[in-house]
Amino acid sequence: MILMPAAQATEYLVQSTRTNFDGSHRYYIDLLNKVMDASADKYGAATIAESPNNFSQNRGFLGLEDGWIDIFWAGSTTEREKNSLPIRIPLYAGLLGRRVPVIRRGDLTKFQDIREEAALKALTACQGDQWPDSDILESAGYTLERVHKFELMYNMLRAGRCDYFPRAITEVYAEIEGYGGDDLIVFDHIIISYPFPMYFFVAKDNVALAERLTYGLGKMVTSGELRNFLQTHPTTKDAFPLTRFDDALIFDLPNISLPNTTPINNPKLWIPFK
């Protein structure tokens, strides 16, 4: 009998973690591995490998087009969807745009006293200089300190360079375990809310990979596995149940860069919030 060699698994390259406490990176890697497993029946075995490099958001999209990486995850904008191929299945079911402030413990009373949006706008938020969130907040009249590197923002908050750091409810609780210490806390009695999908992106000409990701994620949506993954993964599980935010003060903002294709009216892909 002649034994044929087993087909070699396809390898897809993604960026490395930003820091040792980057819980959201683990979320995306674990999810991609599940997507590859879910799509193996149609596309064959595949593995996810990490590049030795981490990228800013602008360089990450450039890395897709130049072939440095195969898959990049980021919040979507109309411009980003023009230049790269989005997989239009939101990875956090729309919860990326539900932001709670991380604050210094010593400022707890200051934030407890906030009743109007103007009081929050008068304070300074740390945000990524290439994040669409920054444009959303600034267009709504919020005061920002734009920061290039993610790992600097918690240090700047500690140092008083900003008053708070808005983080998504799906990432903040895992992050605070690594970055928080005793001096920083999550103040989840205030939520800054705007529609904002997080997608996987691939290069514009990588249609085959886009089809594979769409197929795998679609299977996970249909079976309920994607929603279960969101609600049980160590990075995101502490955001649930969402009833924990029922008494929060919510400030709703428009997203000036929201693509018209965002599936905000599809309950299988987007969780209604309040």
Across the chain, what does the average pLDDT equal? Answer: 92
Mean pLDDT over residues 1-20, rounded? Answer: 70
d(CA 146, CA 144): 6
Instruction: Answer yes or no: is pLDDT of 166 > 60.
Output: yes
Q: Higher confidence at residue 98 or residue 20?
A: 98
Q: Give the pLDDT band of residue 210 (cuts 50, 70, 90).
A: very high
Q: Compute the average pLDDT of residues 98-103.
A: 97
**pLDDT of amino acid 4:** 38
pTM, whole model, 2 decimals?
Answer: 0.92
Confirm if 85 and 191 have CB atoms less than 8 A apart. no
Question: What order do you get walking across the sheet with 198-202 strand by strand?
Answer: 72-75, 198-202, 85-87
Per residue in 16-49, pLDDT tens? 876 666 678 899 999 999 999 999 999 999 999 9
Tens digits of residue pLDDT in 242-256:
999 999 999 999 998
| Alpha-carbon distances of 60 from 56, 85, 86, 116, 234, rounded to whole Å | 6, 13, 14, 37, 25
Domain membership of residue 244 (yes or no) is no
- 3-class secondary structure, 251: strand
The answer to the question of residue 16 being in a domain is yes
- Are both 103 and 189 inside the same structural domain? yes
For residue 1, being part of any structural domain is answered with no
Q: Which two tokens stand for residue 274?
A: 């309040």
Structural domain count of the chain? 2
Cβ neighbours around 72 below 10 Å, total: 24
Report the CATH number that the domain containing residue 110 is assigned in CATH: 3.40.190.10
Same domain for 127 and 66: no
Domain residue limits at 115: 96-193
Which residue blocks in 72-148 are alpha helix, DSSP H? 78-83, 108-112, 117-121, 132-139
Pairing of strands 85-87, 198-202: antiparallel
Q: Rounded to whole angstroms, how far apart are CA atoms 21 and 19?
A: 5
Decide which of 172 and 16 is more confident.
172
Bigger pLDDT: 18 vs 175: 175
- pLDDT at position 59, please? 87
Position 22 scores a pLDDT of 67
- How far is Cα of residue 126 from the mean position of the Cα atoms in its chain? 16
Phi, psi dihedral angles at 146 (to 5 degrees): -80, 135
266 lies in some domain: no
Residue 117's SS3 state is: helix
Do 27 and 152 share a domain, yes or no? Answer: no
Same domain for 125 and 178, yes or no, is yes
101 and 86 fall within a common domain: no
Q: Which of 193, 228, 252 is the last residue of a domain?
A: 193
Q: What is the pLDDT of residues 176-194, one digit of tens each?
A: 988 767 899 999 999 999 9
**115 and 181, same domain (yes or no):** yes
Task: Report helix, strand or coil for 207.
Answer: helix
Across the chain, which distance is largest between two alpha carbons, in Å? Answer: 78
